């Protein structure tokens, strides 16, 4: 796991060493073990290494081929690299290291860029082919490892994190109004732009390449999810048996390491299943749980702490267990650092992720995560049930779009944005942005409840899951910790997509028979919390029923209560400040109304308040140059607000 960066001057102008050095220094937290540079006149590559496989100098990057014509900077893990190595050795290739980096390098020599189709793992890399003066940028199937790029005149710049790009003198931090509109609609970005003007996220499962002879950046997408071609003849027993087999295989594959490996343990089905398998291979497996101070929390949030269930699993599998307790005051110290590392704001409250990664990094270099199980096995049934009664595609899209306006509905956008910004975005239809996600797969269907669920699975795994992955990568690598996701194994993903919807949702037939005209039906939908039925049944051989039949619970702090109680003074300090940076973009009267309504208990605005806090710190840090304490990277702030 590492940080990578590069500069390509397409006009032939030499790249000063200090430019790539500054970019690489900005990624030091991602790779504290080693650093390296490569310059070929107008092309420069930089690398910071977190040594996990073969931590000897043989794994130093940038890594070059024997003849020096191919040079690679790479971030990630290739779990089938040993199989690929055997295949390459059979063709006569010889290896000097035990790294997967060298397998990628020689794999390109053998198979060209089509090598990516053979890879099972998480990766982002930049590859320089000096013979053809061509630079390739590549990202893994699922978008586990981030890679950002921008074009500044005749210069292409890329890096694992945006802050590295912002060190280049041709790039300054400016806001992207379209992305801001999208963020305050979905609390996420569904397109591959960012909040930074002209800085883009490389699409998952894609290759981009550019050369001196053809200076336009070209793209090829080489894989996509497929929930359409389900095996409707598959029995429930076949589905559970193969799920268990492939899951064991996936976890075992991802244990490969020359440094200590641990696992997050929330007390739920997904992380508990990972621990069950991993503990059978690693004696005294280190496990890590984040709990919450609930002493002043009421209502549903009083059950948010999962430490008891995590301790049960830890005792069952004899793990070496560590816990972090987060309290309401932690947000004030964590938030500036979190936004600095996250850069590209996505999704809800994530400071618990930051805290538990910080804890884990004190004991291990690699940590397993349960991300992906919900998206593959229909873990959010209350979302899908909202569109069960849709009639055709348009009705389905409109209903689902209504649900996914997580922050500010379209009708309130003129109140949210200041007048100048609203003029820039008023004609940008976020519904069309939402619809575009479904257009990536023209074979999706909308003529039955099962097809509605399949289409919803596709949408969420293309939008919500990538947001989670970016958050988890950035906040783990902030502490030099590699995070792995066994649910996103090629064989496991391939099989999970083929399972019939009726096996994933235990109450599918009951829901289909519900009267759509029934009053309070949404409350009844929430009673049917039997998503992931196949996975629950498969894992019942590993975990007690108390765990496998627990209702779904997200990893979230009790912010609704804290924002009305212990943390309310912090919210007021940040959001009611008459010199707040967000005022250059957002209407302060709207922000005040939201805060007042939340404090008064009129509505739960925890998600929107979190986004206001994050955006305020984003403006301070990246537009105004207010770096959090302990961060040294020199950026080029933009011109500020409107």
| pLDDT (0 to 100) of residue 519 | 40
Reference 74, options 30, 104, 98, 43; nearest CA is 104
Residue with the bigger pLDDT between 105 and 530: it is 105
Domain boundaries, the chain: 2-176+191-221, 236-372+472-499+534-548, 559-623
Coil, helix or strand for 349? Answer: coil
pLDDT tens column, 571-603: 999 999 999 999 999 999 999 999 999 999 999
Reference 474, options 127, 137, 27; nearest CA is 27
Catalytic (active-site) positions: 2
| pLDDT (0 to 100) of residue 1 | 65
Residue 619 has pLDDT above 70, yes or no: yes
What confidence tier does 526 reach under pLDDT thresholds 50, 70, 90?
A: very low
Coil, helix or strand for 523? Answer: helix
The size of the chain, in residues, is 642
The answer to whether the beta carbons of residues 47 and 28 sit under 8 Å apart is no
Across the range 236-241, mean pLDDT stands at 97
| pLDDT (0 to 100) of residue 279 | 96
| pLDDT (0 to 100) of residue 554 | 59
| pLDDT (0 to 100) of residue 56 | 84
The rounded mean pLDDT for the chain is 91
Task: For residue 194, give both structure tokens.
Answer: 């960012």
Distance CA 285, CA 435 (A): 44
Contacts 24+ apart (CB under 8 A), 623-629: 623/173, 623/174, 623/175, 623/581, 624/581, 627/340, 628/336, 628/337, 628/340, 629/336
Q: What is the residue whose two structure tokens read 């440094």?
A: 259
**% residues pLDDT > 90 (the chain):** 75
Coil, helix or strand for 106? Answer: helix
Contacts 24+ apart (CB under 8 A), 577-580: 580/616
Across the range 173-198, mean pLDDT stands at 96
Rounded to two decimals, what is the model's pTM? 0.94
Coil, helix or strand for 635? Answer: coil
What confidence tier does 636 reach under pLDDT thresholds 50, 70, 90?
A: low
The three-point CA angle 604-339-121 to 5° equals 100
| pLDDT (0 to 100) of residue 314 | 94
Distance CA 229, CA 239 (A): 15
Residues in contact with 221: Cβ distance below 8 Å, sequence separation at least 6, in sequence order: 203, 205, 206
What CATH code is assigned to 236-372+472-499+534-548?
A: 3.40.50.620
Across the range 302-308, mean pLDDT stands at 76
Torsion 580-582-586-591 (CA) sign: negative
Q: How many CB atoms lie within 10 A of CB 203?
A: 17
Residue 485 has pLDDT above 90, yes or no: yes
What confidence tier does 518 reach under pLDDT thresholds 50, 70, 90?
A: very low
The DSSP code sequence of 201-263 is: EPPTTEEEEEESSS-S-EEEE------SS--TT--HHHHHHHHHHHHHHHHHHTT--SS-EEE
Q: Which residues of 485-514 are buried (b: 16+ CB within 10 A; e: fewer)?
A: bbbbbbbbbebbbebbbbbbbbbbeebeeb
Across the range 200-227, mean pLDDT stands at 94
What confidence tier does 284 reach under pLDDT thresholds 50, 70, 90?
A: very high
| pLDDT (0 to 100) of residue 477 | 96
| pLDDT (0 to 100) of residue 211 | 94
| pLDDT (0 to 100) of residue 328 | 87
Distance CA 536, CA 81 (A): 31
Distance CA 497, CA 442 (A): 17
Range with lowest mean pLDDT among 51-60, 249-258, 309-318, 343-352: 51-60
Across the range 537-548, mean pLDDT stands at 90
| pLDDT (0 to 100) of residue 517 | 41
Coil, helix or strand for 46? Answer: strand
Residues in contact with 164: Cβ distance below 8 Å, sequence separation at least 6, in sequence order: 3, 5, 23, 24, 26, 27
| pLDDT (0 to 100) of residue 373 | 95
Across the range 327-346, mean pLDDT stands at 92
- CATH architecture of the domain with range 2-176+191-221: 4-Layer Sandwich (3.60)
pLDDT tens column, 94-143: 999 999 999 999 999 999 999 999 999 999 999 999 999 999 999 999 99
The three-point CA angle 430-189-414 to 5° equals 40
Across the range 23-51, mean pLDDT stands at 94
Residue 520 has pLDDT above 60, yes or no: no
Coil, helix or strand for 447? Answer: coil
Torsion 77-356-320-558 (CA) sign: negative
Residue 642 has pLDDT above 50, yes or no: no
Reference 129, options 17, 8, 1, 4; nearest CA is 8
Range with lowest mean pLDDT among 51-55, 316-320, 450-454, 597-601: 51-55
What confidence tier does 522 reach under pLDDT thresholds 50, 70, 90?
A: very low
Residues in contact with 300: Cβ distance below 8 Å, sequence separation at least 6, in sequence order: none
The answer to whether the beta carbons of residues 502 and 453 sit under 8 Å apart is no
The answer to whether the beta carbons of residues 50 and 67 sit under 8 Å apart is no
Distance CA 200, CA 147 (A): 9
Q: Where are the alpha helices (DSSP H) in 440-552?
A: 449-477, 490-498, 501-504, 508-512, 521-527, 533-539, 545-548
Residue 48 has pLDDT above 70, yes or no: yes
Residue 625 has pLDDT above 50, yes or no: yes
| pLDDT (0 to 100) of residue 391 | 85
Q: How many CB atoms lie within 10 A of CB 89?
A: 12
Question: Rounded to whole angstroms, what are the CA distances from 199 to 149, 161, 365, 637?
Answer: 6, 11, 30, 14
């Amino acid at each position: 796991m590492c940080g990578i960066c590069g500069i390509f001057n397409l006009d032939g102008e030499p790249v000063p060493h200090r430019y790539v050095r500054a970019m690489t220094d900005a990624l030091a937290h991602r790779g504290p073990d080693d650093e390296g540079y490569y310059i070929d006149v107008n092309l420069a590559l930089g690398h910071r290494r977190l040594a996990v496989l073969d931590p000897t100098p043989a794994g130093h990057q940038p890594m070059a081929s024997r003849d020096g014509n191919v040079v690679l900077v790479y971030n990630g893990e290739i779990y089938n690299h040993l199989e690929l190595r055997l295949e390459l050795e059979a063709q006569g290739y010889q290896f000097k290291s035990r790294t997967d980096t060298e397998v990628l390098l020689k794999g390109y020599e053998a198979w060209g860029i089509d090598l990516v189709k053979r890879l099972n793992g998480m990766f982002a890399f930049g590859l320089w082919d000096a013979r053809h003066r061509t630079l390739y940028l590549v990202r893994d199937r699922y978008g586990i490892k981030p890679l950002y790029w921008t074009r500044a005149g005749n210069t292409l710049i890329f890096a694992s994190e945006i802050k590295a790009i912002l060190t280049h003198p041709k790039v300054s931090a400016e806001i992207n109004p379209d992305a801001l509109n999208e963020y305050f609609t979905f609390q996420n970005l569904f397109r591959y732009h960012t909040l930074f003007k002209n800085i883009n996220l490389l699409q998952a499962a894609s290759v981009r390449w550019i050369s001196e002879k053809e200076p336009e950046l070209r793209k090829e997408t080489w894989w996509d999810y497929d929930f359409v071609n389900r095996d409707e003849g598959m029995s429930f027993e076949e589905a559970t048996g193969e799920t268990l087999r492939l899951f064991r295989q996936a976890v075992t594959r991802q244990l490969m390491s020359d440094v200590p490996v641990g696992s997050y343990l929330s007390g739920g089905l997904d992380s508990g299943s990972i621990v069950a398998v991993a503990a059978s291979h690693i004696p005294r497996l280190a496990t890590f749980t984040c709990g919450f101070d609930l002493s002043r929390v009421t209502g549903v949030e009083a059950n948010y702490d999962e430490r008891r269930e995590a301790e049960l699993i830890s005792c069952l599998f004899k793990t070496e267990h560590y816990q972090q307790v987060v309290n309401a005051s932690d947000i004030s110290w964590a938030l500036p650092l979190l936004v600095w590392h996250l850069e590209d704001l996505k999704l809800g409250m994530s400071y618990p992720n930051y805290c538990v990664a910080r804890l884990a990094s004190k004991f291990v270099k690699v940590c397993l995560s349960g991300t992906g199980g919900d998206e593959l096995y229909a873990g959010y049934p209350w979302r899908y049930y909202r569109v069960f009664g849709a009639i055709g595609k348009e009705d389905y899209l409109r209903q689902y779009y209504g649900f996914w306006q997580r922050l500010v509905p379209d009708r309130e956008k003129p109140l949210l944005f200041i007048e100048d910004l609203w003029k820039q975005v008023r004609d940008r239809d976020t519904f069309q942005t939402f619809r575009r996600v479904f257009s990536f797969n023209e074979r999706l269907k909308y003529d039955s409840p099962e097809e509605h669920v399949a289409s919803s699975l596709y949408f969420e795994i293309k939008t919500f899951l990538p947001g989670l992955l970016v958050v988890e990568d950035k906040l783990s690598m902030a502490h030099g910790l590699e995070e792995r996701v066994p649910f996103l194994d090629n064989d496991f993903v391939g099989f999970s997509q083929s399972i019939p919807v009726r096996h994933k949702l235990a109450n599918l037939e009951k829901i289909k028979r519900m009267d759509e005209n029934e009053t309070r039906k949404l409350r009844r939908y929430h009673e049917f919390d039997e998503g992931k039925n196949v996975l629950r049944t498969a894992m019942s051989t590993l975990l007690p029923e108390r765990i496998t039949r627990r209702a779904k619970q997200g990893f979230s702090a009790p912010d609704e209560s804290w924002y009305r109680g212990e943390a309310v003074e912090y919210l007021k300090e940040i959001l009611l400040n008459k010199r707040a940076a967000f005022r250059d973009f957002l209407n302060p009267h709207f922000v005040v109304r939201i805060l007042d309504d939340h404090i008064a208990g009129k509505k739960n605005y925890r998600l929107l308040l979190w986004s206001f806090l994050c955006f305020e710190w984003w403006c301070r840090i990246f537009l105004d140059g207010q770096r959090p304490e302990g961060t040294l990277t020199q950026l080029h702030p933009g011109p500020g607000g409107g």
